Amino acid sequence: MSTSVETSGRTSTPFVDTYTVEEPFPTVSYRSGLGVYEESLVRGQFVARGWNAAGFMGPEAVRFDPATHPAPQSFWLEMDGQLLASHWA
């Protein structure tokens, strides 16, 4: 699916991309315009690692440490009352 935006009589395609790294944890950065969201697979759990509206991907040193947040998971999946929050590896 392609999306176009018309500005001043010109048609442009909005900027979107993904970028992955494997070390020190498998991490995916999703960018749309200047919005960036990053998540990693840390010890079998997908966790949020950072957000920004500046358009750049943060280095590992500035990403959130999931051990310091009470609910770091990227999503909450529950089935028949059983929380499926970890062990995705």
Residue 32: which domain range?
15-66
Task: Give the C-alpha distances (Å, rounded to integers) separating 84 from 50, 73, 87.
Answer: 22, 11, 8
**CA of 48: how far to CAs of 5, 62, 75, in Å?**
30, 13, 9
Looking only at the bridges linking them, the beta strands covering 5-7 and 10-12 are: antiparallel
What pLDDT digit, counting tens, does each position of 21-72 carry?
999 999 999 999 899 999 999 888 888 888 889 888 888 888 888 888 777 7
d(CA 29, CA 17): 8
Predicted model pTM = 0.67
Q: What domain count does the chain have?
A: 1
How far does the chain reach from its first CA to its final CA, in angstroms?
A: 31
Q: pLDDT digits over 1-19, tens only?
A: 455 555 566 667 788 899 9
